[in-house]
Amino acid sequence: MHYEGNIIRPPSEAESILLQVTVGCSHNKCTFCGTYRGERFTIKKDSIIFEDIEFAAQYCKRQTRLFICDGDALIIPQRRLVLILERIKSRVPWVERIGLYANTKSIKMKSSEELEELRELGVKIAYMGLETGDDVTLKRINKGADSSRMVEMGRKIRKAGIQLSITVLIGIAGRERSHIHATETGRVLSAIDPEYVGALSLMLIPGTPMHKEYQNGNFELITPDEMLTELGTMISTTHLSSGLFHANHASNYLPIRARLPHDKEKTLALIARALEGKVNLKPEYMRAL
């Protein structure tokens, strides 16, 4: 496989074939993100991508999932993306699920019919970073969309029959807006009603604008207990018809995996016990991104 630069994938794609079709992220402006800082976004040449599909056809015979890397592969023009998906379908036909990252810009660029065409060609899940439903914080972190656009695009991709996994970031609004961030995120998640929510806990990355804000005293990192309180408020204000709410990423202090609404009360009780000191939290040195 011809991998270039930083390769990232969602935790749930750990066993997937990782096919890199783009380098970097087409947005690359979120103030907390250091993943692709300094990397120029490019779409790789078809010849390289097709060579990698051949590699998968020969050596990845047991993997039934494939993840198209990197940041935001949905931005690829439809005709090229269709060619890549058709090649995967013909050369790696045992792949049952293709996943990719999407953002509001790339979803907006595709018509509903185009999204349905991608689903027909195997794209079954898209991962979208919401981070927060709080408009003030979305602007501050330079996410490139407000909450109403997030809701619109999240619903659009789900309507096309593509499952949606949304990432939110505990602690991203600092101390002052922590409660608003939690309730507004609950509001937006409820409006989109995705199949999956993944909550990560903020870790500051040196060199990012947010880290500089923190160093200058313009951003307050909340404590582990405050993060748990925020997570509890978010879960209690999130109303999903039947979604999986995960907070079991390496960055989280307390692993949570809840089917909502079924597990809501049990999960809130677990958080309450953790806040009373009755459940051990992950030590700081074991956290990672």
Task: Using CB under 6 A, list all residues that contact ligand SF4.
Answer: 25, 27-30, 33, 35-36, 71, 103, 129
Residue 91's H or E segment, with its range, is: helix 78-91
Contact 71, 28 (CB under 8 A): yes
Nearer to ligand SF4, 101 or 245 (CB): 101
Min CB(270)–ligand SF4 separation in Å: 28
Which residue in 68, 71, 69, 67 sits closest to 24, CA to CA?
71
Tell me how far apart the alpha carbons of residues 175 and 226 are, in angstroms, rounded to a whole number: 8
Contact 192, 145 (CB under 8 A): no
Min CB(189)–ligand SF4 separation in Å: 18
Cα 148 to its chain centre, rounded Å, is 18
Nearer to ligand SF4, 28 or 178 (CB): 28
Looking at this protein, which amino acid is placed at residue 50?
F
Min CB(37)–ligand SF4 separation in Å: 8
Min CB(167)–ligand SF4 separation in Å: 8
Min CB(198)–ligand SF4 separation in Å: 13
Distances (CA, A) of 280 to 47, 170, 176, 221, 246: 51, 19, 26, 21, 18
Nearer to ligand SF4, 129 or 133 (CB): 129
Nearer to ligand SF4, 27 or 110 (CB): 27
Min CB(71)–ligand SF4 separation in Å: 4
Nearer to ligand SF4, 81 or 130 (CB): 130
Min CB(25)–ligand SF4 separation in Å: 3
Which residue in 33, 99, 36 sits closest to 63, CA to CA?
99
Nearer to ligand SF4, 107 or 260 (CB): 107
Nearer to ligand SF4, 105 or 282 (CB): 105
Specify the 3-state DSSP secondary structure of 242: coil
Give the 3-state secondary structure of 151-176: HHHHHHHHHCCCEEEEEEEECCCCCC
Contacts of 179 (CB under 8 A, 6+ apart): 230, 233
